[in-house]
């Protein structure tokens, strides 16, 4: 995607009038080391001190939305940054990259393979990111920057670190999800395993969502990795490409996991169908057993003349004996030829 509007005159600093964006955190970078900034005004106060700025926003905050709309960016960039969409894609201009990346949601107690959207705008001196819900990979990058575990030379180096964190977290979450799936599979294969149907359905739903989401982003990232965009430094781009191919392999693993969830769900459905058929079979047997008694009582219950044993003092016992004999005969037949006990 290209933009014909001139961009050389865009301001590369945060204006004093828009410093109320209230970022969740901000870092000024010098020689690769990130220094936490109390607010964005601290970056403007000493513009020559820092090589570039990273600011991360909660896009549910109206002040953050106002800050983004006050940027001297093209309307398409502002619209994409302020309103994350459900699919990830990066667009390239002559002096910046913008769009959306996919992260994993921070679910708190039990992290799971749940995708979340992260907006990104990267230029020579700025990296602006934003989210609406807590995300795992971007927070991991923040911790790495705070501990000086990473020393990015540019905003694009931070994007590469984001993909590295995304791959690390994705592999761990996939391993945990695979362990849960194997534990559920053991229960499903036991008698009465259909009781885990709800758990399997939840795993299948989550796996399909994240597999579809990651597959879409993989295509977009591989398309971006074919040729180095002008804003990407060569040193950062080589590392970026390696992480993209690592992400592609992770996507294939997630798709395999989704297929295993589908197979397990089919097993649960087969067990449910088998249980249903067994119950219907038992009801059919009971109907067959009681059919002779129903016929006999129906015949002797007719209010017409000539009913056998109507005047006999032992008629009740005779009819009862006939019913018992039929019960015994049907019982032997069912046991020998249907239930195959003998």
- pLDDT tens-digit series, residues 71-88: 888 888 888 888 755 556
Segment 275-303 shows an average pLDDT of: 75
Residue 101 to residue 220: CA distance in whole angstroms: 10
What order do you get walking across the sheet with 89-92 strand by strand?
33-36, 25-30, 52-58, 126-131, 115-123, 96-104, 89-92
∠196-197-200 over CA atoms, to 5°? 90
| 88 vs 40, higher pLDDT | 40
pLDDT per residue over 167-215, tens digit each?
898 888 888 888 888 888 877 777 766 677 777 777 777 777 778 777 7
Question: Cβ distance 26 to 43 under 8 Å?
Answer: yes
Q: Given its phi and psi angles, is residue 122 left (phi above 0), alpha (psi -120 to 50 degrees) or beta?
A: beta
Residue 265 to residue 227: CA distance in whole angstroms: 42
Segment 58-73 shows an average pLDDT of: 86
**Does the pTM of the predicted model rise above 0.75?**
no
DSSP alpha helix (H) spans, 189-233: 197-225
pLDDT at 139 over 90: yes
Q: Considering the chain, what is the average pLDDT of its residues?
A: 78
Q: What are phi and psi of 70, to 5 degrees?
A: -85, -5
| 293 vs 72, higher pLDDT | 72
Question: Cβ distance 213 to 102 under 8 Å?
Answer: yes
The per-residue pLDDT for 306 is 67
Question: Cβ distance 20 to 91 under 8 Å?
Answer: no
Residue 236's pLDDT band (cuts 50, 70, 90) = confident
The per-residue pLDDT for 231 is 74
The per-residue pLDDT for 146 is 92
DSSP state of 89: E
**For 64-78, 94-108, 110-124, 321-335, which range has the lowest pLDDT when averaged over its residues?**
321-335
Residue 1's pLDDT band (cuts 50, 70, 90) = very low
Segment 32-55 shows an average pLDDT of: 81
The per-residue pLDDT for 83 is 73
DSSP alpha helix (H) spans, 52-91: 62-69, 75-82
Helix (H, G, I), strand (E, B) or coil at 26: strand
Residue 193 to residue 183: CA distance in whole angstroms: 12
Residue 16's pLDDT band (cuts 50, 70, 90) = very low
pLDDT at 20 over 50: no
pLDDT at 160 over 80: yes
Question: Cβ distance 164 to 145 under 8 Å?
Answer: no
């Amino acid at each position: 995607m290209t933009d014909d509007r001139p961009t050389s005159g865009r301001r590369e600093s945060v204006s004093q009038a828009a410093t109320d964006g209230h970022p969740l955190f901000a870092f000024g970078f010098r020689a690769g080391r990130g220094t936490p900034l109390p607010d964005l005004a601290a970056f403007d106060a000493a513009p020559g001190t820092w090589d570039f700025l990273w600011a991360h926003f909660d896009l549910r905050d109206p002040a953050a939305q106002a800050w983004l709309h006050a940027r001297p960016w093209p309307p398409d960039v502002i619209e994409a940054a302020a309103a994350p969409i459900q699919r990830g894609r990066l667009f390239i201009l002559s002096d910046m990259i913008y769009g959306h990346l996919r992260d994993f949601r921070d679910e708190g107690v039990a992290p799971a393979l749940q995708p979340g959207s992260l907006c990104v705008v990267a230029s020579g001196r700025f990296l602006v990111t934003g989210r609406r819900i807590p995300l795992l990979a971007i927070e991991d990058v923040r911790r790495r920057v705070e501990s000086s575990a990473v020393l990015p030379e540019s905003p694009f180096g931070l994007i590469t670190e984001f993909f590295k964190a995304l791959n690390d977290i994705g592999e761990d979450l996939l391993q945990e999800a695979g362990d849960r799936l194997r534990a559920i599979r053991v229960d499903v294969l036991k008698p009465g395993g259909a009781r885990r149907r709800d758990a399997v359905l939840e795993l299948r739903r989550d796996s399909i969502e994240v597999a579809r989401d990651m597959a879409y982003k993989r295509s977009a990232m591989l398309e971006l990795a074919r040729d180095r965009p002008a804003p990407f430094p060569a040193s950062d781009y080589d590392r970026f490409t390696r992480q993209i191919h690592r992400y592609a392999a992770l996507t294939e693993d997630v798709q395999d996991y989704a297929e295993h969830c589908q197979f397990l769900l089919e097993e649960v459905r087969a067990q449910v169908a088998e249980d249903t058929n067994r119950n219907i079979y038992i009801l059919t047997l009971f109907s067959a057993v009681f059919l002779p008694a129903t016929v006999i009582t129906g015949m002797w219950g007719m209010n017409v003349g000539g009913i056998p044993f109507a005047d006999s003092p032992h008629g009740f016992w005779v009819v009862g004996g006939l019913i018992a004999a039929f019960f015994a005969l049907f019982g032997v037949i069912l046991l020998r030829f249907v239930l195959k006990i003998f």
